[in-house]
Structure 1
Amino acid sequence: MTPFAIGGLGTTELLIILAVLVLLFGASKLPELARGSGRALRIFKAETKGLMDDDEDPATKTPEQRELEARQAQVDAEAERRRRGDTTI
């Protein structure tokens, strides 16, 4: 097994897949595609985590926990706005 084997694919197969991607999308579009895929995976991960958090009983949370979650949501929203370059509030 080669050190670059991913999911049972060897180096040759990965190079062929990469060549096909370059032919289909062009070299300039590949970073944009990777960025979009990364964003989609991050959103998917956050949503699945949110579903798991929804299973918790809100009545068992202390006021401090609720306040901490509200502050974290504000910080996350501000970080997302800054990442997008959005300066409006």
Structure 2
Amino acid sequence: MFGKLGWPEIILILVVVVILFGAKRLPDTARALGRSLRILKSETKAMKEDGAAEAPASTQSAQPAAEAPPRTISAAPGDVSARPVGEPDHNRR
């Protein structure tokens, strides 16, 4: 009963979305949703890479680590808001 959406149900959902948000706000909402999904995807990829990089390092003997440069979070393509991790951004309000 709930496992399959047909064309009438999809059209009804789209009509309700257009009524709720209005036709003028839909492109902006879709862009914001796409941007959020890209950021989420890049963050999960970075977390997986960090986890894979840390696994072999934890099996090695405990040696003092050299001072590493500050890590930055790379933004999604087209977003230029990359900034160092752990440093507060006092210019933003």
Q: Same fold (TM over 0.5)?
A: yes
The percentage of counterpart residues that share the same residue type is 44
TM-score, scaled to structure 1: 0.57
Quote the offset at 1:8 in angstroms. Answer: 2.7
Structure 1 gap ranges (5+): 1-6, 61-72, 82-89
RMSD: 2.6
State whether residues 18 and 26 of structure 2, in contact with CA within 8 Å, keep that contact through their aligned partners in structure 1. yes
Look at both structures and tell me which one has the larger radius of gyration over its CA atoms: 2
In structure 2, the CA distance between the partners of 1:13 and 1:54, relative to structure 1 (3 Å rule), is same
Aligned to 2:24: 28
1:80 corresponds to 2:76: no
Relative to its length, the structure with more helix (as a share) is 1
Q: How many residues align?
A: 61
Aligned to 1:68: none
Structure 2 gap ranges (5+): 58-73, 81-93
